[in-house]
């Protein structure tokens, strides 16, 4: 059938197929949830307080909070603190500070460990219904049996014996001697289902509960129960938890408890900026990186010190979408978002690096007012001048006797001497088109600061020894009047954050 005939045939007999499909709307944000009811959505962010928060935490927190916001629902912060050996108040506090900085608001704040009694109650319920058992095998044997998909003899024990053993876990058994295992399926393809751990004995001191408890729920037990009890309707986690979805559903089914919908997203990491404590910790210990707030790190503190704005992080993360494909985002794309936030409100200041002298003979004025921003009204600053300037070394190289340059905001200079100590004469009403326009700093009031330029931390697997460049530069005295943490654009150099009176950190171009 020719195309024409087909068209005719369709028009006559099947006009409904010609009705255009509903136009796919351009979405601005996360994809719609299929089974979400407006006003009824509850999401959560459950970090473990075992380290400093980083961009990965930001992603999980932002995605979950955004869904709650989208559907007019509720958002829970739940400190997932069921491993006393790893968790500390210091981290708990750092996570809270980080989230606050990101501007994330919670309707409820709690700790997983608030519900220890519920875990015990549910644990006993599982044991008494034969859906869990106490295993006293050696760790290695358990692992071997999992690999070989074989059940151990503990799984054959009577409910009675299991319950007695459970009670013995509270004092008799030593850590490592007994665990509670979920009766899953030792033959399952999904290794997570091969009778996973529900409870284990940990004697470490918990950072809020001290030694009150000795039997602690595992992650799977804790998350399953908590999400159900907290009323969580949609739980989004990063992809490495994907295999646990089946287990969590199985635990909840075994207890006849309500199940949340689960979703997964890819981990977020920047190229050459490791997130893992395993890598960062040694760098700090060896002194290669100062601390967790080092501007080369993708920690929230590091990003903040570097001059990245929380709004930019949010936009950036939203732009990544909810995908399961691996994301190794280049830092540029965060920078691009940040630049848009920072540009409108950054004061423009002059700063010269590798300073060289320029003397101007016949300056007719002794001070000048320069606007703080090219388009927005951010006031002006007055600069005292006496004809002795510093200019950047790179610019000094490019000025030639007999040509004119323009000192930005001041006027044209006709160069009479070039080199390291150049000289020139002031030209009244000089032409500004097509000449070199450079920034400058008066010698007498120049304020010396350290310019710290963070670069990529790792090149491939190798630590980049040149990852932190430091320059001695001169800037205007007005720098001293700015607040710490303020974002500045050093003209023709880039955006920088004032770290202290004598140090600035380069944010990006």
Partner RNA sequence: GCUCCUAUAGUGUAGUCCGGUUAAGCAUUUUGGCUUCUCAAGCCAAAGACUCGGGUUCAAAUCCCGAUGGGAGCACCA
CA–CA separation, 254 vs 130, rounded Å? 10
**Rule CB under 7 A: which of 70-89 touch RNA?**
80, 82-83, 86
What are the residues whose beta carbons fall under 8 Å from the beta carbon of 320, sequence distance 6 or more?
59, 268, 327, 329
Near RNA by CB under 7 A: residue from 159, 186, 284, 322: 322
CA–CA separation, 203 vs 85, rounded Å? 8
Residue 147 binds RNA (CB under 7 A): yes
- Within 136-282, strands assigned E span 179-182, 197-201, 215-217, 234-238, 261-265, 268-270
Residue 139 binds RNA (CB under 7 A): yes
Residue 451 binds RNA (CB under 7 A): no
DSSP per-residue string spanning 298-359 = -BHHHHHHHT--HHHHHHHHHHH-S--S-EEE-HHHHHHHHHHHHHTTPEEE-EEES-EEEE
Near RNA by CB under 7 A: residue from 33, 209, 408, 482: 408
Q: Is 132 exposed, middle or buried (0-12, 13-18, 19+ CB in 10 A)?
A: buried
Q: Are 83 and 50 in contact (CB under 8 A)?
A: yes
Near RNA by CB under 7 A: residue from 179, 254, 385, 415: 179
Stretch of 96-104, 123-131, 316-324, 455-463 lying at the interface with RNA (CB under 7 A):
316-324
Of 292 and 316, CB closest to RNA:
316
Give the nearest distance from C-beta 180 to RNA in angstroms.
9
Instruction: Give the binding-site size for RNA (rule: CB under 7 A).
Output: 88
Near RNA by CB under 7 A: residue from 491, 496, 504, 505: 491
Near RNA by CB under 7 A: residue from 108, 121, 319, 431: 319
**Rule CB under 7 A: which of 8-27 touch RNA?**
17, 19-21, 24, 26-27
**Rule CB under 7 A: which of 256-315 touch RNA?**
266-267
Other CB atoms within 10 A of residue 44 CB? 30
Q: Are 193 and 244 in contact (CB under 8 A)?
A: no
Give the nearest distance from C-beta 81 to RNA in angstroms.
8
Near RNA by CB under 7 A: residue from 410, 427, 456, 459: 410
Of 175 and 231, CB closest to RNA:
175
What are the residues whose beta carbons fall under 8 Å from the beta carbon of 459, sequence distance 6 or more?
272
Taking the alpha carbons of 345, 347, 348, 350 in that order, is the dihedral positive or negative? negative
Residue 332 binds RNA (CB under 7 A): yes
CA–CA separation, 462 vs 297, rounded Å? 15
Residue 37 binds RNA (CB under 7 A): no
Of 340 and 382, CB closest to RNA:
340
Residue 395 binds RNA (CB under 7 A): yes
* H helices present in 217-297, as ranges: 219-229, 244-254, 277-285
CA–CA separation, 39 vs 43, rounded Å? 12
Give the nearest distance from C-beta 304 to RNA in angstroms.
20
Near RNA by CB under 7 A: residue from 90, 394, 470, 472: 394
Near RNA by CB under 7 A: residue from 42, 44, 45, 46: 46
What secondary structure letter does DSSP report for 233? S
Q: Are 64 and 260 in contact (CB under 8 A)?
A: no
Of 290 and 311, CB closest to RNA:
311
Of 81 and 301, CB closest to RNA:
81
**Rule CB under 7 A: which of 190-209 touch RNA?**
190-192, 194, 197, 200-202
Residue 340 binds RNA (CB under 7 A): yes
Residue 165 binds RNA (CB under 7 A): no
Residue 489 binds RNA (CB under 7 A): yes
Taking the alpha carbons of 498, 502, 507, 509 in that order, is the dihedral positive or negative? positive
Give the nearest distance from C-beta 245 to RNA in angstroms.
9
Near RNA by CB under 7 A: residue from 118, 320, 459, 482: 320
Q: Are 426 and 437 in contact (CB under 8 A)?
A: no
Residue 241 binds RNA (CB under 7 A): yes
Residue 328 binds RNA (CB under 7 A): yes
Strand partners, 469: 453
CA–CA separation, 409 vs 414, rounded Å? 16
Residue 153 binds RNA (CB under 7 A): no
**Rule CB under 7 A: which of 420-449 touch RNA?**
432, 437-438
What secondary structure letter does DSSP report for 210? B
Near RNA by CB under 7 A: residue from 89, 93, 109, 243: 243
Query: Tokens 């219904």 sit at which residue?
Result: 129
Stretch of 155-163, 279-287, 290-298, 391-399 lying at the interface with RNA (CB under 7 A):
391-399
Residue 365 binds RNA (CB under 7 A): no
Of 20 and 210, CB closest to RNA:
20
Stretch of 35-43, 216-224, 294-302, 463-471 lying at the interface with RNA (CB under 7 A):
216-224
- How many helices (H) and strands (E) in the chain? 13, 29
């Amino acid at each position: 059938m020719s195309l024409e005939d087909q068209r005719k045939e369709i028009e006559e007999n099947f006009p409904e197929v010609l009705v255009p499909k509903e136009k796919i709307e351009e979405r601005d944000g996360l994809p719609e949830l299929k089974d979400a009811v407006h006003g009824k959505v509850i999401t959560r962010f459950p970090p473990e307080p075992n380290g400093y928060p980083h961009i990965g935490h930001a992603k999980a927190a932002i995605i979950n909070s955004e869904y709650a916001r989208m559907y007019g629902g509720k958002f829970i912060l739940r400190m997932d603190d069921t491993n006393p050996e790893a968790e500390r108040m210091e981290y708990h506090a750092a996570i809270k500070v980080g989230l606050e900085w990101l501007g994330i608001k919670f309707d409820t704040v709690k700790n997983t460990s608030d519900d220890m009694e519920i875990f015990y109650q549910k644990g006993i319920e599982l044991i008494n219904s034969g859906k869990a058992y106490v295993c006293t095998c050696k760790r290695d044997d358990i692992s071997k049996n999992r690999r070989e998909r074989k059940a151990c003899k503990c799984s054959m024990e009577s409910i009675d014996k299991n319950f007695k053993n459970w009670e013995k876990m509270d004092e008799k058994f030593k850590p490592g001697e007994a665990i509670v295992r979920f009766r899953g399926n030792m033959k399952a393809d999904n290794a997570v289902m091969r009778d996973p751990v529900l409870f284990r004995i940990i004697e470490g001191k918990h950072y809020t509960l001290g030694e009150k408890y000795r039997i602690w729920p595992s992650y799977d037990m804790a998350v399953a129960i908590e999400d159900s009890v907290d009323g969580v309707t949609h739980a989004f986690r990063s992809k490495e938890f994907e295999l646990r979805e089946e287990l969590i559903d199985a635990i909840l089914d075994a207890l006849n408890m309500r199940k949340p919908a689960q979703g997964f997203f890819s981990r977020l990491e920047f190229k050459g900026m490791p997130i893992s404590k395993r890598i960062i910790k040694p760098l700090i210990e060896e002194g290669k990186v100062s601390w967790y707030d080092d501007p080369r790190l993708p920690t929230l503190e590091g990003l903040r010190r570097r001059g990245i704005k929380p709004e930019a992080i949010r936009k950036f993360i939203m732009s990544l979408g909810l995908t399961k494909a691996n994301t190794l985002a280049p830092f540029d794309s965060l920078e691009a978002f940040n630049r848009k936030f920072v540009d409108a409100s950054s004061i423009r200041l002059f700063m010269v690096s590798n300073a060289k002298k320029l003397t101007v003979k016949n300056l007719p004025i002794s001070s000048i007012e320069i606007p703080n921003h090219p388009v927005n009204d951010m006031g002006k600053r007055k600069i005292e001048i006496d004809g002795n300037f510093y200019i950047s070394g790179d610019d000094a190289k490019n000025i030639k006797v007999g040509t004119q340059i323009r000192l930005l905001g001041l006027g044209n200079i006709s160069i009479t001497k070039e080199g390291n100590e150049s000289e020139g004469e002031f030209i009244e009403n000089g032409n500004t088109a097509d000449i070199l326009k450079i920034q400058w700093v008066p010698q007498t009031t120049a304020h010396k600061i350290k310019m710290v330029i963070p670069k990529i931390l790792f090149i491939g697997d190798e630590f980049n020894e040149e990852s932190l460049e430091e320059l001695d530069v001169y800037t205007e005295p007005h720098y001293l009047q700015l607040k710490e943490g303020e974002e500045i654009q050093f003209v023709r150099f880039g955006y920088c954050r004032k770290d202290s009176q004598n140090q600035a950190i380069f944010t990006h171009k």
